[in-house]
Amino acid sequence: MRAPFSFPLVCCVWLLLATTAGAQVLPTDQSPGDTTGALSDASQNPLPGYRVTPYAEPGQPSPWQRLVHDFLNASGQDSARAFLQRIPPTPSAPDQIRELLLALEPLSREQIKTLLDRQPKGSSLLPFLHLVLGDRLAAAGEEQAAQQAWQKASQSQLVNAEAMRRIANEANAADAVVAGLMIPLTGPSAAMGNNLILAARKALADYRDVNLHLEVEDSGANETTAQEAVRKLAGRGSRIIIGPIFHAAALGAARAAAASQIPIITLNPRQEILSAGGNVFLNAFQPDAQARIMARHAMRTARLQRFAILAADSDYGRLQAQTFAEEVTALGGTVTRSILFPEQETDFSNALKMIVQTDPEGAKRRAAQGAGKELGPLIDFEALYLPATARQVRLIAPQAALHGIVSPGIALLGSSLWNRPELLEESESLQGAIFCDIDQNSRDQFNASHQKTLGIAPVPALSMLVYDSIAVLAQLLRDQRLGGPQWQEGITRPNGFHGSAGLVRFLDNGLSERNLHLYRIDGKRIVPVGAPPGGGAQNPPRRVSRPAPAIEVDPQPQPANEPPPVDPEATEAEIPVLPLSQ
C-alpha cells in the first residue's frame, strides 16, 4: 500500500469509509484506539452502523487513517469542514476517484444520507455521495428520486461519465460480459428455480448500466449433470458461473469449472467444495459462523462461563453444536452437556431431562455420586444454546421452564432460525433470549423493493444469494470501467460489496461473510441489541421501463436423482439447513 503522505491527494481515497485496505471491524463496545488529532468528539454523532478502524499495515493506523476514522464518527458539519480544509479542493486522479467510490460502495442508504447532511455547502464530495445515493434509491424502486440524485452527480466532471451511464438506462451490449447461472429448472425444485430467475432479473435491472449478460442452465442434482451444465455454459461464452445450490451438484460444477479455468461462485455452504481448486468461492450463509458469534457474545459481553447445548441431530444442528462448543472451549469456557434430539421431534421432554440430568441415566449417575434420593434438576450452566427452528423453540421454551431453565435467569441463545414471526407466539418463556441474524433493516428494505418491482415478498434467502452474486459481478464491472482489477483480484477487496442485506465480503480462502447482528426477545417484539463481538464478521435494487434484461434459458430434460422439493418461499433462516442436508 502506498505511503499516506507520498501523494497529497491520496487522503481523499480514505474519506467516508476506511475499509478499503486491511480493515479491522471492531465491536461497538470497544474503543477504536488512538484518536490523536481527532476532528471532534467521535461519540457525539457517529455514522450509524459505522465502526471501522483502518490499518495501512499491521500495527498502528497512520495519521491520515485516524483522521478519516474520526471524521466518520464525529458530529455535524464542523468535522466535515475541518477534513475538507486538510485536503486539496477535489480528488482528480482517476485512481483516487475510483478508490473513493469503492469506499462508498458498501454503505447503506441511511449512511449515505447521513454523510450528505454533514457536508458543508460546495463540498467536493457531494457528487460522489449523490451518485451512490442514486444507486440505493433506484434499487428501492424510487426511480424518480434516483434520477434526481444522478442528475446532481452528473454536474461534476469527476463522476459525470458514471452518472450519465445510469441516467441513460442502458449498457452497451456489444462488449457484454457473459456469466452463467446454474439453478434447478426441472423436477420438484423447479418452482424455486423460477424464483431465482426473478431475483436474477431484478439484479440485472438494478445494474442496468453494466454490460452483463446471463446464460441460465439447469443444474441438475448430481455431479454428472452439473458438470455437463458447466460445459454447456463454457461453450456459450460464460466467463464466470454462479451456482449451483445443492451440494453434489455444486461440488461437480466446481470441479468442472476448475478444470476449465472458469471462476465459479457456488451457493452452497459446504466448505469441502473449495477443495475442487481453481477460483472457487462460496456465497452462502455459513451456519457455523453464527455459533462462533453467539459464543463470543455470551463470553465476552455477557460474561458467562458455563453452557449447555440442545440441537437437532442433523448436519446443521451437529455443526452448530460442535462449533459453539469449540469456540467456548477456545475462549476458556465450559460446555457441561450437549444433547441432540431427532430432527423432526415435537416432544422435547426427554432431551430436556438429559440436559438437567433427571433422565434415568443421569439420575443413576448422580445417585452414584451421592446426590441423595430426591434429585431435582441439575442446572450447572448459565446459558442454553438452542440453534433450533422457531417452531421447535416455541415448543422447547415452555417445556424448559418446567425443568427450571427460565430466561433470563438462564440465558437462552439461538441462531437465525429463530427469526420468524411465529417465535413470538411463545414469547413469555423467551423474554430476554438473544439470537443473531443478518441486518433486519436492510432485509426489510430489500423485501419492499422486491415487492414493488416483482410483486413478491418476503424474498426467499436463496434468491438473496443469487441477487448478491450478480450484484458483486456488476460492482466489479463498474470498478473495471474506472481501471479496477480483473474479478479474480477484485472479488476479495477488503471493503466488500453492497448486497441485499448489507455488506458482503469474499475472503482469500473462498468463503463469504456477512455482518451479523444480535436481536433480543422483548415482550411481543424482536428488537436489535447492537453488533456482536468482532463486529459481526462471520469468519476471524431498481425498477426500470425497458425490455427484460438479457437472460437466456436452455431448459434440459429432468435430471435423475432430483433432490426433495424445496419450499420456494423459504426464508434465510431455513437456508443453512437446505444445502447442508442435500
- Pick left, alpha or beta for residue 496 (phi over 0 → left; psi -120 to 50 → alpha; otherwise beta): left
Cβ atoms of 130 and 152 within 8 Å: the answer is yes
Q: How many CB atoms lie within 10 A of CB 562?
A: 18
Give me the pLDDT at residue 197, please. Answer: 93
Domain spans in the chain, listed from the N-terminal domain onward:
1-124, 126-168, 173-285+460-507+541-580, 287-440
Give me the pLDDT at residue 77, please. Answer: 54
Q: What is the pairing mode between strands 240-242 and 264-266?
A: parallel
Same fold for the pair 173-285+460-507+541-580 and 287-440? yes
User: In degrees rounded to 5, what are phi and psi of residue 377?
Assistant: -60, 135
Average pLDDT, the chain: 76
Give me the pLDDT at residue 530, please. Answer: 65
Give me the pLDDT at residue 559, please. Answer: 37
Provide Rg for the chain, Cα atoms: 25
Q: Is the pTM of this model over 0.85?
A: no
Collapsing DSSP states into helix, strand and coil, what is residue 267? coil
Give me the pLDDT at residue 286, please. Answer: 87
Q: How far apart are CA 14 and CA 7, in angstroms?
A: 13
Give me the pLDDT at residue 390, please. Answer: 94
User: In degrees rounded to 5, what are phi and psi of residue 179?
Assistant: -120, 150
Cell of 78: 464542523
Q: What is the pairing mode between strands 502-506 and 512-514?
A: antiparallel
Cβ atoms of 558 and 186 within 8 Å: the answer is yes
Cβ atoms of 419 and 440 within 8 Å: the answer is yes
Q: Does domain 173-285+460-507+541-580 fall into CATH 2.60.40.1180?
A: no
Q: What is the pLDDT of residues 254-290, one digit of tens each?
A: 999 999 999 999 999 999 999 888 799 999 988 889 9
Q: How far apart are CA 553 and CA 231, in angstroms?
A: 15
CA angle 505, 510, 512 (to 5 degrees): 30
Give me the pLDDT at residue 92, please. Answer: 52
User: In degrees rounded to 5, what are phi and psi of residue 90?
Assistant: -145, 150
- Where the chain has pLDDT below 70, the residues are 1-93, 95, 171-174, 359-360, 362-376, 530-582
Q: How many helices (H) and strands (E) does the chain have?
A: 20, 18
For 287-440, give the CATH class: alpha beta
Cβ atoms of 393 and 419 within 8 Å: the answer is no
Of 398, 419, 424, 394, nearest to 522 (Cα)? 424
Q: What is the pairing mode between strands 516-522 and 525-530?
A: antiparallel
Of 339, 335, 404, 348, nearest to 376 (Cα)? 404
Cβ atoms of 533 and 293 within 8 Å: the answer is yes
Give me the pLDDT at residue 483, please. Answer: 87
Give me the pLDDT at residue 40, please. Answer: 31
Q: What share of the chain is helix, strand, coil (3-state, %, to 5)?
A: 45, 15, 40
